[in-house]
A and B are shown apart, each in its own frame.
Chain A
Amino acid sequence: MTSLTLVRRIKARPAIVFDALTTPEGIACWWGPDDGPVLVAETDPRVGGRFRVRFRMLDGSEHESSGEYLEVVKPERLSMSWRWAGGVEDPGESLIEIRLRAIAEGTELSFTHSRLRDEETRRSHTAGWNGALDKLERHFLKEHVA
């Protein structure tokens, strides 16, 4: 319930897919839910570096999201924190994890967007999704029930 996973098989080698994911030129070509333009794409793909992407949808609305690269292992793994600027769509920070696996036809990309809120959970996400969820839950229990 709390995460979304999508898988794509791409006829391109992992290094090319990785560049498409992390370069402003690449991002400008694919980011966004419709054919509206990407207005800003900034990336600094190293651990602790940040990204910022702003796009306009065909209905004229503009949206911006930004985050921090948490894991950058070219051409296999990429993780980053994510949040919408202004927080219109998103209640807080969430996590994106991308895995690229070389397959005969090119690359299998698996993409997971999961919801994480507190800083500690995000930092220790390598402890595993379940551990993170437990912490997330404790965080919420503290916040809303106690």
Chain B
Amino acid sequence: MECRRRLNRRLILTNGFVFSILSYMVNYNERLGRTFAALVDPTRRAILARLEREDGASVSELAQPFAIQLPAVMKHLDVLDDAGLIIRSKVGRTVTVQLRANPMREAMDWLRRYERFWSKSLDRLAAYAERKEIEARKTRR
């Protein structure tokens, strides 16, 4: 069967594995890892969703809907803060929490890139397998 794309083993030797990674990328990767780690927890996602709706809330307001103690909420906020997903600012005795959208956008970009990659690949995989199926049926006759 004809395949429009061919393996070329020679090229790999000449090109080598030239992927020089800038420290920027390392930082980017670490940041991305923190973002995803922050987002795996449902309580933290609920906090983020609320901050998106309300554009800022105090720590005790945020803790209120959850059946967990304030220190546990503080810990979740630490994780979100570490991932750069929120900003905490203190006025008097009240700590106000606000959403920062940038890391989230980076995480979405990452997912979209993967989606593009796999979506296109799987479309081609399907077309290839379907050609193979037709070929197999012909051979059997």
A residues near B (Cβ < 8 Å) are: 1-2, 4, 6, 8, 10-13, 16-17, 19-21, 24-26, 28-35, 37-41, 54, 56, 62, 64, 85-92, 106-107, 109, 111, 113, 115, 117, 133, 136-137, 139-141, 144-145
**A-binding segment of B50-58, B61-69, B95-103, B124-132:** B124-132
Is the CB–CB distance between B124 and A30 below 8 Å?
Answer: yes
Q: Quick one: which of B8, B78, B110, B128 contacts A26, CB cutoff 8 A?
A: B128
Q: Which of B4, B6, B82, B126 has the most CB of A within 10 A?
A: B126
Q: A16-B129, A85-B17 are in contact. List 7 more A-B contacts (CB 8 A).
A: A12-B133, A17-B129, A20-B132, A39-B12, A40-B9, A87-B25, A106-B130
Q: Quick one: which of B115, B120, B129 contacts A32, CB cutoff 8 A?
A: B120
* Binary contact track B1-29/A, C-beta < 8 Å → 1, others 0: 00111111101100101010100010001
- Nearest residue (CB) in B for A31 is B121
Looking at chain B, what size class is its interface with the partner chain?
Answer: 35 or more
- Chain B, interface SS category: helix
Is the CB–CB distance between B130 and A11 below 8 Å?
Answer: yes
Is the CB–CB distance between A11 and B32 below 8 Å?
Answer: no
Is the CB–CB distance between B128 and A133 below 8 Å?
Answer: no
- Chain A, interface SS category: mixed
Q: Contacts of B132 on A, CB cut-off 8 Å? A: 12, 16, 19-20
